[in-house]
A and B are shown apart, each in its own frame.
Chain A
Amino acid sequence: MRRLFGYEERSAAIFLAPVLAVLMGVAVFPILYSFYLSFFRIKLTRPNRTPFVGLDNYLDLFTNDLFWVSVARTVTFSVVSVAAILAISLLVSLLLNQNFRGRRVLSTILLVPWAIPYVANALMWKWIYDSGYGALNGILYQLDFIDKYMVWLGDQDKTIFLIANAFVWKEVPLATILLLVSLKAIPSDLYQAARVDGAGVWQRFIHVTLPAMKPGFMLVLIYETMMAIRHFDLFFILTEGGPGNASHVLSWHIYVETFRNLSFGSGAAMSYVLALVTFALSYTFIRSLGRKV
């Protein structure tokens, strides 16, 4: 008796057709296409010779030292950034969860880093870190922390942390907003109950606040990790992977391989690896939240 395409199914099909068409065209097809490309050696310098090379692109990848360097840089960058984002946004969300005058102004101001373009953010931090006239040098000099101006971004040991700092500054607002959601969701009688049970401020924080924030933490953790792993703009503008290969992260590596060395095949292979890593992460994300969609 049941029909496969009743009125409801027809309506749904019509309503969903545009979105499915768009996503097929601009997301699914490209991803499959890049999978296909990753089995060929494609050099734009030799457009007529694109031999099938099987898994060579992938194998080359894993024997390429620079690739492993880029993986290590990406891991460093992501771990440092995400840890800092979590710590700072935890403090900020606890602050903004209080009731005090100026709270609304403060949370509006907090949106500024989120809103500005990454390129402008990069430009701003490049100027702050500037070795000749930058604010960082200026302020440290005036406070007598340094006695001469430093070439901050030229320092192999510091550069990735400085980039991470710029990244963290821009990502903290979003993380804070997400954490605030789980903070606001804690019913106030839970705190009252804890008080009646004799829990002090610190104990209430440990036993009520922190457990309730766990889903928020997971969300921020995975979301920001995904953002950090794929981040590109800051590296392009601040350091171009340098000095040496100190900030040669994976996304930069893909960019260089594809658009400077013009080997699209291996670029595609790397893109694919990155996409798979992101998929795996988001899978854990959906899993760990156990959220019904």
Chain B
Amino acid sequence: MSDVPSSSTQVVDYRRRQRLARIAQRLIIFGGSILLAVYVIAPVTWLVSSSVQTEAEIVSVPPHWIPEEPTLRNFKAIFSATEEETVTYETRSGQDPAAGGFIPSTASSLLPAMANSLTVATLVVILNLLVAVPAAYSLAKIRTWGRNATVYFILITRVIPDIALVVPFFLVIRKLGMLDTIGSLVLTYLAVTVPFSVFILLQYFEGLPDELDKAARVDGCSRFQALIRVFLPLSLPSLVAVVLFTFLTSWNEFLLALMFTQTEASQTLPILLAAFTSDFTISFSFINAAGVLAIIPPVIVAIIFERYIVSGLTAGAVKG
């Protein structure tokens, strides 16, 4: 427009103004992106960097941001802890004079702990699916009395803080003789995960047209068959979301595991990690390596399934 000759002496140069605005916008976006990336990535990078440093390097002041002699020694120690002779506090400097780090005897529990975490998470996932799928279908497509009351009931259980459940859980689990068993974790994790699973699925099933359900039933499906043959095959995205959430929640849970587990029989990864952090004799780089190990599986899962997670998070959270 500004190219058009105008009789007015004060021609606003819109094109120039627009160009400036666009440059400003780009700068802000660029700057913001960098800032955000650094904010999110820097702490994790620092942890990873510290996990591949030798004990000698990790105690340098100021710190080496990039390790000068990266080593996988800590990870090796975790994966071979059962075979190698245990390094103790007394023998640590003799073992590795350069590094001088201490690998705790509990290092050998790391792999079993990961296995425990995996078992618990898998069981919780399976039970969640068995319990939540029919419930969500029923709440979404079967209109009966009591339906709304049930939704509210599940909504309420969703907001009970886990710390409020700890005392009664502990007493009941103890009475059942289930302390220090994987079963106690599976059972109690259901309380934390099931309501969320139901709401993710409920949101999804409600999004599928009612007429599809009607068509299936007129075509000869019982309620159960309509769920299995029509709705389940269509609900894959929400099933993936449920699997991811329950898996991550179980994998990451700490408080309940802290109450119920005592030994290698049931200790999960977070418990072992927490124990490391309070032991001042353990090498920093070793703790960091263990931390990295705990971070890797959930982060990989999150990155691969980003889409499902975002849609599931919104569905589940919006619902309650």
Mark A residues whose CB is within 8 Å of B.
7-9, 11-12, 14-16, 18-20, 22-23, 25-31, 33-34, 37, 91-92, 95, 98, 100, 102, 106-120, 122-128, 130, 132-135, 137-138, 141-142, 149, 169, 174, 177-178, 181, 201, 219, 223, 226, 229-230, 232-233, 236-237, 251, 254-255, 258-259, 264, 267-268, 271-272, 274-275, 278-279, 281-282, 286, 291, 293
CA–CA, A181 and B312, complex, Å: 12
Chain B 173-201, CB within 8 Å of chain A: the 1/0 string?
Answer: 00000000000000110110011001000
Determine whether the beta carbon of B164 is less than 8 Å from that of A126: no
Interface stretch, picked from B3-11, B34-42, B79-87, B94-102, is: B34-42
| B41-A135 in contact (CB<8A) | no
Contact status A16-B135, CB under 8 Å: yes
CB contact between A27 and one of B37, B61, B160, B276 (< 8 Å): that residue: B160
Distance of A291 Cα from B148 Cα, bound (Å): 13
| Interface residue from B41, B222, B291 paired with A112 (Cβ < 8 Å) | B41
Name 5 interchain pairs, CB-CB below 8 A, sorted by A: A16-B135, A26-B165, A116-B252, A118-B252, A232-B163
Q: Is B208 an interface residue (CB 8 A)?
A: no
Whether the Cβ atoms of B159 and A31 lie closer than 8 Å is no
Assess the A120–B171 pair: CB atoms within 8 A: no
Tell me the complex Cα distance, A25–B184, Å: 13
**Contact status A116-B295, CB under 8 Å:** yes
- Select the residue from B21, B65, B276, B291 with max chain A CB neighbours within 10 A: B291
- Report chain B residues within 8 Å CB of A111: 302-303, 306, 309-310
How far is B234's CA from A194's CA once the two chains are assembled, in angstroms?
A: 40
Most buried by B among A110, A219, A223: A110
- CB within 8 A of B157: which of A8, A27, A267? A27
Q: Are A9 and B144 in contact (CB under 8 A)?
A: yes
Contacts of B29 in A (CB 8 A): 95, 98, 100
Contact of B317 with A30 in the complex, beta carbons under 8 Å: no
Instruction: Give B292's nearest chain A residue, CB to CB.
Output: A120
Q: Is the CB of A91 within 8 A of B144?
A: no
Say whether, besides A110-B40, A258-B166, A115 and B254 are in contact (CB < 8 Å): no
- Per the bound structure, the CA–CA distance linking A137 and B62 in Å amounts to 8
The residue that A8 contacts in the complex, of B47, B131, B142, B299, with Cβ under 8 A, is B142
Stretch at the interface among B67-75, B104-112, B235-243, B267-275: B267-275
Bound together, the chains give a CA A125 to CA B288 distance in angstroms of 11
Asked if B115 is an interface residue, CB under 8 A from chain A, the answer is: no
What is the interface of chain A mostly: helix, strand, loop, or mixed? helix
Chain A residue at smallest Cβ distance from B314: A181
**Contact-size category for B:** 35 or more
How many angstroms between the C-alpha atoms of A232 and B18 in the bound complex?
A: 51
Taken together as a complex, chains A and B put the C-alpha atoms of A264 and B174 apart, in Å, by 13
User: Is B147 a contact partner of A279 (Cβ separation < 8 A)?
Assistant: no
Q: Please, which residue of chain B has its CB at the minimum distance from the CB of A35?
A: B168
A115 engages B152 (CB within 8 Å) = no
**How far apart sit A255 and B164, CA to CA, in the bound complex (Å)?**
10
Q: Which of chain A's residues have a CB closer than 8 A to the CB of B254?
A: 117-119, 232-233, 236
* Complex contact A28–B157 (CB within 8 A): yes
Judging by beta carbons under 8 Å apart, are B152 and A100 in contact?
A: no
Most buried by B among A9, A111, A274, A282: A111
List, in ascending order, chain B residues with CB within 8 A of A264's CB.
167, 170-171
A123 CA to B137 CA in the complex, in Å? 41
A106 to B40, CA, bound (A): 10
Mask of B269-299 contacts with A, CB within 8 angstroms, 1/0: 1100110111000001001101100110011
The smallest beta-carbon distance between B46 and chain A, in angstroms, is 5
Q: With A119-B269, A132-B59, A259-B259 given, name 7 new contacts (CB 8 A).
A: A8-B223, A30-B168, A95-B32, A133-B63, A149-B61, A219-B318, A268-B167
Distance (whole angstroms) from the CB of A189 to the closest CB of chain B: 21
User: How many Å lie between the Cα of A33 and that of B173 in the bound state?
Assistant: 13
Q: In this assembly, does B262 line the interface, its C-beta being within 8 Å of a C-beta of chain A? A: no
B123 interface contact, C-beta 8 A:
no
Interface residue ranges of B50-71 to A (CB < 8 Å): 50, 58-63, 65
Whether B143 sits at the interface, judged by CB under 8 Å, is yes
Determine the chain B residues whose CB is within 8 A of the CB of A113 once the complex forms: 40
- Complex interface: chain A residues within 8 A of B318 (CB): 178, 181, 219, 291
Chain B residues with CB under 8 Å of A133's CB are 58-61, 63, 284
Q: How far is the CA of A203 from the CA of B93 in the complex (A)?
A: 66
